[in-house]
């Protein structure tokens, strides 16, 4: 009889895979096994990681954010640069979901299935954007990109509370604010296919941020922490970016932010 698939071990395998197409295929296989019920969280094994985390292709070249370049919507290349930037964000988001899944042991099974769902949806987003980039005449890796999102993943690898506070409900939640104006710009430029992809991403990202909010509060309750007070302390300790408006308050409400928290975004 075949052994049930171990979610954490296979999530690490996905995370270490450098090729984007292979990574998305591995995530799909993992999600299919979980959906079929043929899985366990893990078998208690200690992981030994011998390759760099996360697995990445040789390109894109990673540079500081200021060197990524401007993305004018007037030219085809400018629109392709924007789509490439979004694809890179989704590639990183795929990896951060896998990292959240494998790195932190001894949590409820629903934590792991939630983050597998996020990884599957981020892989779908990346695949859509990479395919549209080819329609525009380019490929993922053709433009430089920055690594700001993954830097916070690395900072918070030792504390799941900090991870939930500062990655999904801070950096990813920023996408809830950023997507509507980006969608308006790209639609005005006439790229309605890209605009439709952004509609899907915004819809799904609300759910991803809600997962981060929910597990953050669960973990705070387990440690006897007040979520708002703890968040302020963690943001300071880990040097989280100070977010500036405008904020998408309606999307943030749907993603589980409380009215008291939204006062800080008003």
Q: How many CB atoms lie within 10 A of CB 2?
A: 5
- Residues 6 or more apart whose CB falls under 8 angstroms from that of 130 comprise 20, 87, 139, 140
| Domain residue ranges of the chain, discontinuous segments joined by + | 5-265
Task: Report the pLDDT value the prediction gives residue 266, as an integer from 0 to 100.
Answer: 64
Task: Report the pLDDT value the prediction gives residue 119, as an integer from 0 to 100.
Answer: 98
Please tell me the distance from the alpha carbon of residue 245 to that of residue 177, in angstroms, as a whole number. 8
Q: Give mean pLDDT in consecutive 10-residue pieces for the chain, a chain of 266 residues.
A: 82 96 96 91 78 92 82 87 95 97 95 97 98 97 91 95 97 95 94 97 98 98 97 96 92 96 82
The pairing of beta strand 39-40 with beta strand 5-6: parallel
Helices (H), ranges, 49-191: 76-103, 109-135, 148-155, 160-166, 174-188
Residue 145, helix vs strand vs coil: strand
165, with CB counted inside 10 A (0-12, 13-18, 19+), is buried
Residue 218, helix vs strand vs coil: helix
Is the torsion defined by CA of 52, 158, 167, 109 positive or negative? positive
Q: How many CB atoms lie within 10 A of CB 154?
A: 12
Please tell me the distance from the alpha carbon of residue 266 to that of residue 10, in angstroms, as a whole number. 41
253, with CB counted inside 10 A (0-12, 13-18, 19+), is middle
Tallying the residues shown for the chain, one arrives at: 266
- State the number of CA atoms in the 13 A half-sphere of 257 facing the CB: 25
Element (H, E) at 216: helix 192-223
Task: Report the pLDDT value the prediction gives residue 183, as an integer from 0 to 100.
Answer: 96
Phi–psi pair at 44, nearest 5 degrees: 85, 5
Please tell me the distance from the alpha carbon of residue 199 to that of residue 128, in angstroms, as a whole number. 12
Q: Give the architecture (CATH level 2) of 5-265.
A: Up-down Bundle (1.20)
Q: CA dist 160 to 2, 65, 68, 80, 111, Å?
A: 32, 26, 30, 35, 11
Q: How many CB atoms lie within 10 A of CB 53?
A: 18
Please tell me the distance from the alpha carbon of residue 147 to that of residue 65, in angstroms, as a whole number. 8
Task: Report the pLDDT value the prediction gives residue 106, as an integer from 0 to 100.
Answer: 93
Task: Report the pLDDT value the prediction gives residue 67, as an integer from 0 to 100.
Answer: 78
Task: Report the pLDDT value the prediction gives residue 171, as an integer from 0 to 100.
Answer: 94
Six-digit token string for 117:
């769902």
Please tell me the distance from the alpha carbon of residue 181 to that of residue 185, in angstroms, as a whole number. 6
Task: Report the pLDDT value the prediction gives residue 2, as an integer from 0 to 100.
Answer: 63
């Amino acid at each position: 009889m075949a052994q049930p698939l171990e979610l954490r071990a296979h999530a690490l395998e996905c995370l270490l895979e450098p090729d984007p197409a292979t990574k998305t295929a591995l995530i799909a296989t993992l999600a299919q096994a979980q959906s079929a019920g043929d899985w366990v969280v893990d078998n208690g094994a200690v992981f030994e990681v011998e390759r760099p985390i996360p697995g990445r292709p040789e390109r894109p070249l990673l540079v500081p954010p200021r060197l990524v370049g401007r993305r004018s919507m007037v030219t085809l290349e400018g629109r392709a640069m924007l789509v490439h930037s979004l694809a890179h964000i989704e590639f990183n988001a795929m990896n951060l979901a896998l990292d959240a899944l494998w790195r932190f042991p001894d949590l409820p099974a629903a934590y792991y299935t939630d983050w597998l769902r996020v990884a599957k949806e981020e892989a779908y987003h990346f695949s859509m954007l990479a395919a549209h980039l080819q329609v525009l005449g380019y490929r993922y890796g053709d433009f430089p990109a920055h690594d700001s999102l993954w830097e916070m993943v690395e900072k918070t690898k030792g504390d799941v509370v900090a991870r939930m506070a500062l990655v999904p409900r801070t950096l990813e939640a920023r996408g809830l604010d950023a997507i509507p104006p980006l969608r308006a710009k790209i639609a005005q430029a006439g790229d309605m296919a890209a605009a439709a992809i952004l509609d899907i991403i915004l819809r799904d990202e609300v759910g991803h941020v809600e997962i981060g909010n929910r597990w953050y509060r669960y973990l705070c309750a387990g440690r006897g922490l007040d979520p708002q007070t703890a968040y302020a302390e963690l943001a300071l300790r880990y040097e989280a970016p100070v977010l500036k408006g405008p904020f998408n308050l309606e999307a943030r409400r749907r993603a589980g932010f409380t009215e008291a928290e939204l006062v800080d975004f008003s």
